[in-house]
């Protein structure tokens, strides 16, 4: 018995998947009740990397000529410290650390690549903690380490920083010590206006993440910086796979509604440096 495979792709899915057929921007705008005439400025930012899968994001950004910002966790590229930690955990099996160390070096190269390709690199601290809740001495130590470890990569003056969970930013009135400590380490904080909510597993299906962004932009009728993730904060080597593998398909639909802009379009007070 012979089966013939017939690709069954609904029209709407085809539109969203960015397939060969022309994307119907009118349908995209109608779905989110977007103004037909307006293109909103948007800047893509990615948190929690660098991960090995960050290369997939870099590839898309290069092809599409889109400038982005990466807020990276310093301990992911602090290879000497990771080596020490790994060797302590695997004292009887030194070979167990070969692969993790190889991956740490890869992450450093990927971060260097992101910088070379013109993206802004900012700090997302040393670890991914709620910094308003930890001991002030630990918070200060992590901000200092973030500055030191990321020094070869940070490419703005002053260097930029985004707090994990926005903790210390959203609650800056109640917890002013967090932003104060950032300032003491010479960092400028960068928040976000839209979230893709791509960290939430229930959004990691179909076009939910894309819809989240378009819905927010079209409802508020304004542009801004949008938060995506290219890494997972407690997994050193893994990317936020749904975003890193699907970003390419979302770009055409986004372009129906937004114009991609550099971070400097929204944020002032810093200058780029090489």
Residues found near Zn ion in the complex (CB under 5 A): 47-48, 164
The phi and psi torsions of 40 (rounded to 5 degrees) equal -90, 140
Q: How many Å apart are CA 219 and CA 225, to the nearest integer?
A: 15
Least distance between Zn ion and beta carbon 160 (Å) = 14
What does the DSSP 8-state code read for residue 211?
H
- Give residues with Cβ within 8 angstroms of 60, minimum separation 6: 66, 247, 248, 251
Q: Is the CB of 48 or the CB of 207 nearer to Zn ion? A: 48
Q: Is the CB of 47 or the CB of 207 nearer to Zn ion? A: 47
Structure tokens at 189: 């904080």
Write out the DSSP string of 27-67: HHHHHTT--SS--EEEEEEEEEE--TTHHHHHHHHHHHT--
- For residue 227, give the nearest of 107, 71, 75, 58 by alpha carbon: 71
Q: Nearest-CB residue to Zn ion?
A: 47
Q: Is the CB of 24 or the CB of 167 nearer to Zn ion? A: 167
Least distance between Zn ion and beta carbon 163 (Å) = 9
86 beta partners: none
Q: How many Å apart are CA 117 and CA 68, to the nearest integer?
A: 10
Least distance between Zn ion and beta carbon 48 (Å) = 4
Least distance between Zn ion and beta carbon 182 (Å) = 15
Q: Is the CB of 28 or the CB of 121 nearer to Zn ion? A: 121
Q: Is the CB of 69 or the CB of 253 nearer to Zn ion? A: 69
Q: Is the CB of 83 or the CB of 129 nearer to Zn ion? A: 129
Secondary structure class of 185 (helix, strand, coil): coil
Least distance between Zn ion and beta carbon 45 (Å) = 11
Q: How many Å apart are CA 68 and CA 170, to the nearest integer?
A: 23
Least distance between Zn ion and beta carbon 194 (Å) = 15
């Amino acid at each position: 018995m012979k089966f013939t495979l017939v690709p069954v792709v609904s029209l709407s899915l085809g539109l969203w998947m960015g397939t060969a057929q022309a994307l119907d921007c009118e349908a995209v705008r109608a779905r989110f009740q977007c103004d037909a005439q307006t293109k909103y400025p948007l800047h893509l930012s990615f948190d929690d990397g660098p991960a090995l899968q960050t290369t997939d994001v870099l590839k898309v950004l290069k092809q599409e000529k889109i400038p982005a910002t990466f807020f990276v966790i310093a301990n992911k590229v602090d290879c000497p410290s990771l080596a020490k930690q790994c060797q302590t955990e695997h004292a009887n099996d030194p070979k167990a650390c070969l692969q993790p160390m190889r991956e740490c070096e890869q992450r450093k190269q990927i971060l260097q690549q992101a910088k070379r390709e013109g993206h802004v690199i900012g700090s997302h601290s040393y670890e991914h903690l709620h910094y308003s809740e930890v001991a002030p001495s630990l918070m200060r130590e992590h901000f200092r380490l973030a500055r030191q470890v990321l020094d070869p990569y940070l490419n703005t003056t002053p260097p930029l920083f985004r707090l994990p969970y926005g903790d210390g930013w959203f609650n800056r009135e109640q917890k002013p010590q967090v932003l104060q400590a950032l300032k003491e380490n010479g960092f400028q904080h960068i928040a976000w206006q839209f979230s893709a909510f791509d960290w939430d597993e229930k959004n990691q299906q179909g076009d939910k993440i894309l819809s989240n962004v378009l819905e927010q932009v079209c409802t508020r009728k304004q542009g801004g910086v949008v938060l995506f993730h290219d890494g997972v904060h407690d997994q050193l080597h893994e990317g936020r796979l749904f975003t890193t593998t699907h970003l390419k398909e979302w770009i055409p639909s986004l372009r129906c509604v937004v114009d991609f802009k550099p971070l400097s379009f929204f944020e002032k007070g810093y200058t780029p440096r090489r």
